[in-house]
Homo-oligomer: A and B are copies of this chain.
């Protein structure tokens, strides 16, 4: 085993099967510490906990899995792990393995990706790993992909402000065609609200809807996993639209 230190987190919570799979895969690459939310935190985006204190509990399971559970968001976990819990700064932060892909515009809502973004902001190379299924318990392909990508990141590093967003098709490992470097595509969730009335006569709404994918290009993240490739997108958070600066500067705002 190398002397690398790896921080593992997620947004499905420390008891989710995906984080156990990721812990197993990462344990082959270095010393792993798990710091993860104590309950599911999906679709929390890049939330942080400002107005409440954070509680931390140590977890020790009979299978050897141990770590810290935090009553906060994925971003909270990365912050408190690196600033308060870990004695050594991790060489890499890996978030996942999420149940459900994080592609296209949906990555804006993703707690899995936000944990990696938080790591990146702390200048630690970070990787988010998601499996394109809400039900699968077969993490074989995703574990292999995580191990492959993270071992390269440990060796080569990542550019400033850039994380890798890895999505793995939920198919038997030997059917995965390989790795494709992709862009964030335009796949999105089209919302619909279902209006209902509760037994006391009060109205409430359920958000529902479905994914739609307007992308044609095969090098888009969602299309790559549909084509049975592992998708790897380099994601940054330089959010300025430089293309619009000149036109905007022409607006007469005085």
Contact = CB atoms under 8 A, between A and B. Distances in A.
Interface of A: 40, 42-51, 53-56, 75-76, 79-80, 83-84, 105, 107-109, 114, 117, 121, 148-149, 152, 156, 158-159, 161-162, 164, 178-179, 181, 183-184, 188, 191-193, 195-196, 202-207, 232-245, 247-249, 251, 253-254
Contacts of A84: 193, 195, 205
A202 B45 CA distance: 29
A243 B242 CA distance: 14
Nearest to A117: B108
Count of identical protomers in the assembly: 2
Given A148-B253, A207-B79, A244-B162, A184 B238 contact: yes
A159 B244 contact: yes
A245 B181 contact: yes
Contacts of A75: 45, 109
Given A108-B121, A179-B253, A253-B179, A56 B156 contact: no
A101 to B, nearest CB: 15
A183 B245 CA distance: 8
Contacts of A108: 46, 114, 117, 121, 237
Nearest to A252: B152
A240 B249 contact: no
A49 B207 CA distance: 8
Contacts of A149: 253
